[in-house]
């Protein structure tokens, strides 16, 4: 029965890594491939090169999540990348979206990023070494 639960948890984390990876890849590529539509939705930007750089980094993170694989090590890497990107994007979205420095649409992105962060927190499983996480 424990093997079934572990397999179910691994499958759930694999699906989460794939979904979040695809999200990061697509949203990262958007300003790189079609800057005009990105700017139409998110508002004008001062530095196109910087937006494309951040987009490229987001796409690279998504690609790494998609390629992480179902092993404990791969899923741990996908979780670290996912939590790191979600926390970073959410923090920037909130810090600058709430002050009006960037468009209010970024507050919607903050909510999505916080949802990814919560999903990764809820999907915690074996650590990269294959052992179970310690609980208090």
Q: What is the pTM of this model?
A: 0.86
Q: What is the mean pLDDT of the chain?
A: 91
Q: Which of 71-75, 76-80, 92-96, 129-133 has the lowest mean pLDDT?
A: 129-133
pLDDT of residue 125: 65
What's the CA gap between 58 and 27, in Å, rounded? Answer: 8
pLDDT above 60 for 61: yes
Higher per-residue confidence, 58 vs 131 = 58
How would you classify residue 135: left for phi > 0, otherwise alpha for psi between -120 and 50, otherwise beta? beta
Measured on CA atoms in the order 4, 10, 13, 15, is the torsion positive or negative? negative
pLDDT at 135: 45
Q: What per-residue confidence (pLDDT) applies to 4?
A: 74
């Amino acid at each position: 029965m424990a093997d079934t639960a572990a397999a179910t948890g691994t499958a759930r984390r694999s699906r989460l890594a794939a979904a979040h990876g695809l999200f990061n890849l697509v949203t990262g590529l958007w300003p790189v491939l079609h800057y005009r539509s990105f700017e139409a939705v998110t508002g004008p930007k001062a530095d196109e090169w910087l937006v494309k750089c951040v987009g490229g980094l987001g796409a690279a993170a998504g690609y790494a999540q998609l390629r992480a694989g179902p092993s404990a090590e791969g899923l741990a890497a996908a979780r670290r990348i996912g939590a790191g990107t979600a926390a970073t994007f959410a923090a920037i979205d909130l810090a600058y979206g709430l002050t009006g420095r960037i468009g209010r649409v970024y507050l919607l992105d903050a909510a999505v990023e916080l949802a990814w962060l919560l999903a990764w927190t809820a999907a915690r499983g074996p650590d990269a070494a294959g052992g179970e996480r310690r609980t208090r």
